[in-house]
Amino acid sequence: MTGFLLGRLAQAVLVMLVMSVLVFLGVYAIGNPIDVLIDPAATQAMRAAIIRQYGLDLPLWQQYGHFLGNVLRGDFGNSFVFRIPVLSLILSRLPATLELTVVALLIAAVLGLPLGLWAGYRPDSRLSKAIMAFSTLGFSVPTFWVGLLLILFFSVEMRWLPSGGRGPAGALGLSLWTREGWTYLLLPALNLSLFKLGLLIRLVRAGTEEVMGSEHVRFARAQGLPERQVVGLHVLKNIGIPIVTVLGLEFGSTIAFAVVTETVFNWPGMGKLVIESITSLDRPVMVAYLILVVLLFVMINLAVELTYGFLDPRVRTR
């Protein structure tokens, strides 16, 4: 087990190193932040001093070396626009993104599990076909378009919910503790959950159909067990592990790809921050955000692999 653990940790470190290089080069090779940092009326001497201050006069490989050394110390530098440490800036937006992501995944799980079970339990029924058609829409319809439709109906036409922004924050910087906070949270969370909902419905349906045809389910029915008990004890138990695994991995991707939803609904999270940073060429924020997202994915995948290795000894030999 120790060798398996060390091997996976080494792979995670290598992935982080490679991705840090790709992210750094991809961001720092585009655009010129000097136009953002320096007033157009500044003299040539002032421009040269600011360029030296931020190390932008150094070769790219030296800039990366300084960046990597600072990151290993937990220092991502200061934002060019906000003039504060990047890490504290991102962490200040983290609660908004986390609550949006968690609520979106809860909506997907609460709706997707029973709908997927029914679609797999009665695959030939009209309701099952309607559920699968709905799941296809979740994959096919662009998120920004659905968001605009939700705003048009619930905010403009019906005037039930706000069209954007975030409610007052409570404990831990979360707005879901208040009723007003929920009114701002519902529409973006619903919009963000649609793709995950379609994915979960299809996953649960496929697993249910496979398990329903297995020998142990037939044996349980032959014993005269009620259908609710068959589904609850035998079907859910067998499809539970892959569902939990997918939800865990989707948690990271939901945080990473909440950018569109946060932009459409003016939600002040990390996704909206990175869009603002791209438009203003705030390189430290862009690089730090991408590095942290990659780190999140690597950690989640590492946790999943270690869990599999603990539960199934055969995985440790791969």
Residue 56 lies in a domain: no
pLDDT tier at 31, thresholds 50, 70, 90: low
The number of domains in the chain is: 1
* 292 occurs within a structural domain: no
Residue 94 placed within a domain: yes
In this model, does residue 4 exceed pLDDT 70?
no
Here the tokens at position 276 are 């603002």
Q: What is the pTM of this model?
A: 0.79
Query: In CATH, what number is assigned to the domain containing residue 252?
Result: 1.10.3720.10
The answer on pLDDT for 312 being more than 70 is: no
Q: Which residues contact 167 (CB under 8 A, 6 or more apart)?
A: 175, 178, 180, 181, 182, 183, 184, 185
Q: Angle 82-87-92 (CA atoms, 0-180°, nearest 5)?
A: 75
Q: Is residue 2 part of a domain?
A: no
The pLDDT value recorded for residue 188 is 92
Residue 263, domain member (yes or no): yes
User: Could you tell me the residue range of the domain that residue 243 belongs to?
Assistant: 86-279
- Kindly report, residue by residue over 224-245, the tens digit of the pLDDT: 666 666 666 667 777 777 777 7
Q: What is the mean pLDDT of residues 84-104?
A: 89
Residue 67 within any structural domain of the chain? no
Query: Above 60 in pLDDT, residue 315?
Result: no
Taking 70 as the threshold, does the pLDDT of residue 195 lie above it?
Answer: yes
Residue 175 burial (10 A CB sphere; 0-12, 13-18, 19+)? buried
Residue 290 lies in a domain: no
Predicted confidence (pLDDT) at residue 32 exceeds the cutoff of 70: no
Q: What is the mean pLDDT of the chain?
A: 79
Give the pLDDT confidence of 167-194 residue by residue, as tens digits: 887 777 787 788 888 888 899 999 998 8
Which pLDDT belongs to residue 311? 54
- Residues in Cβ contact with 110 at an 8 Å cutoff, skipping those fewer than 6 apart: none
**Is residue 6 in a domain?**
no
Interval 99-125 mean pLDDT: 87
Q: Quick one: average pLDDT of 104-113?
A: 90
